[in-house]
């Protein structure tokens, strides 16, 4: 079986990917988006934030440092998996994929700074992070099995509902960033908004959310009726996250989008993505039998 060290490292990767989303949100919510006015340096004259730049420079540079830490974590995991990559190529290449997202995010982040937080570029900056959270959640799931498919799947229509759940989650992410781009938290007084009507884009964002809740409830009922025990827990977790997210979403809307609630909503978004991935993955079970293990038999 995969060792505890690798499993912990996978969880650390998932938490760090969600942390990038949260710290990026904090940068925007505190108006620190241009705390570092240049890229790849913090300023044309300094690689790092200085005391003269104040709290905004520290917050923005802190987000950049977390991205570096994420890259280091990816490299360390790759080294842990290197000599076992033929036994568990799925784990090795998932980590490489997550590692490859880091420079993409860095470049898009640089373009975001150069364009003075253009809301459409900011939206593009968020999407790779959302994808990375999903991949990291899948990476974590893979550390709990042998990597061998059983050749079976959950009873119909549960696999299809799993794909619909993941697709709706993706739609929600897109509408979420568009809603953010139309809202009051621009990240800087120099940044413009995307020009979309805030009320209507918020309503458009809520529509796929309700579809997701309905689909999740339907899938959960069917999973219990068909005794698909592997899917019940992931679906229950997803439904719980959706309920909390919905409550936070409506409360923050009626309270004028306070910063603290927005931050909690972003944490919930990462949890929603991870839970949706877990639901879909649970519809396609893999072996956990050590006797047929193709995973890491010994990891030092």
Predicted confidence (pLDDT) per residue in 21-67, tens digit = 999 889 888 888 888 888 888 888 888 888 878 898 899 999 899 99
Is pLDDT above 50 for 293? no
Q: Say what the pLDDT of residue 298 is.
A: 36
Give percent above pLDDT 90 in the chain.
50
Distance, CA of 213 to CA of 287 (rounded, Å): 30
Tell me the pLDDT tens digit for each residue of 127-148. 999 999 999 999 999 998 887 7
Tell me the pLDDT tens digit for each residue of 153-187. 899 999 999 999 999 999 999 988 888 877 666 55
Q: Say what the pLDDT of residue 191 is.
A: 62
Question: What is residue 229's three-state secondary structure?
Answer: helix
Distance, CA of 152 to CA of 287 (rounded, Å): 11
Distance, CA of 196 to CA of 234 (rounded, Å): 35
Q: Say what the pLDDT of residue 296 is.
A: 45
Asked whether the CA dihedral 274, 276, 279, 285 is positive or negative, the reply is negative
Mean pLDDT confidence for 74-95: 92
Whether the CB-CB separation of 277 and 167 falls below 8 Å is answered with no
Q: Say what the pLDDT of residue 256 is.
A: 83
The values of phi and psi at residue 289, to 5°, are -80, 115
Tell me which of 298 and 172 has the higher pLDDT. Answer: 172
Q: Average per-residue pLDDT in the chain?
A: 87
Q: Say what the pLDDT of residue 248 is.
A: 93
Task: Output DSSP code: residue 194.
Answer: -
Taking CA atoms, 146 is separated from 2, 37, 169, 259, 293, in Å, by: 8, 47, 28, 43, 5
Q: Say what the pLDDT of residue 183 is.
A: 66
Task: Output DSSP code: residue 42.
Answer: S
The values of phi and psi at residue 191, to 5°, are -85, 145
Confidence tier at 194 by pLDDT (50, 70, 90): low
The values of phi and psi at residue 249, to 5°, are -60, -50
Whether the CB-CB separation of 239 and 210 falls below 8 Å is answered with no
Tell me the pLDDT tens digit for each residue of 249-276. 889 888 888 888 988 999 999 999 999 9
Q: Residue 117: CB partners within 8 Å, gap ≥ 6? A: 33, 34, 186, 187, 188, 190, 191
Q: Say what the pLDDT of residue 1 is.
A: 53
What's the pTM?
0.88
Mean pLDDT confidence for 219-245: 95
Confidence tier at 189 by pLDDT (50, 70, 90): low
Q: Say what the pLDDT of residue 44 is.
A: 86
Asked whether the CA dihedral 139, 142, 147, 149 is positive or negative, the reply is negative
Nearest to 28 by CA among 256, 132, 228, 183: 183
Between the two ends of the chain, the Cα-to-Cα distance in Å is 13
Mean pLDDT confidence for 61-89: 91
């Amino acid at each position: 079986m995969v060792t505890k060290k690798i499993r912990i490292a996978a969880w650390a990767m998932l938490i760090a990917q969600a942390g990038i989303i949260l710290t990026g949100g904090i940068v925007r919510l505190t108006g620190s988006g241009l705390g570092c006015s240049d890229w790849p340096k913090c300023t044309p004259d300094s690689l790092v934030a200085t005391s003269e730049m104040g709290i905004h420079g520290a917050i923005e540079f802190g987000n950049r440092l977390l991205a570096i830490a994420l890259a280091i974590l990816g490299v360390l995991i790759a080294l842990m998996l290197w000599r076992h990559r033929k036994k568990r190529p799925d784990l090795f290449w998932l980590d490489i994929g997550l590692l490859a997202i880091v420079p993409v995010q860095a470049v898009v982040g640089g373009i975001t700074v150069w364009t003075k937080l253009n809301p459409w570029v900011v939206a593009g900056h968020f999407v790779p992070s959302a994808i990375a959270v999903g991949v990291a959640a899948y990476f974590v799931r893979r550390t709990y099995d042998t990597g061998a498919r059983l050749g079976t799947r959950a009873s119909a229509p549960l696999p299809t509902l799993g794909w619909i759940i993941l697709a709706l989650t993706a739609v929600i992410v897109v509408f979420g960033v568009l809603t953010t781009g139309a809202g009051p938290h621009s990240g800087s007084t120099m940044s413009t908004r995307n020009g979309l009507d805030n009320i209507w884009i918020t309503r458009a964002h809520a529509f796929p959310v309700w579809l997701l809740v309905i689909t999740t409830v339907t899938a959960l009922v069917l999973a219990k009726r068909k005794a698909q025990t592997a899917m019940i827990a992931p679906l229950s977790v997803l439904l719980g996250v959706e309920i909390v997210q919905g409550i936070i979403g409506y409360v923050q809307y009626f309270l004028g989008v306070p910063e603290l609630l927005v931050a909690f909503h972003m944490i919930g978004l990462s949890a929603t993505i991870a839970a949706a991935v877990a639901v879909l993955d649970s519809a396609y079970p893999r072996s956990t039998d050590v006797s047929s293990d193709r995973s890491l038999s010994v990891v030092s």
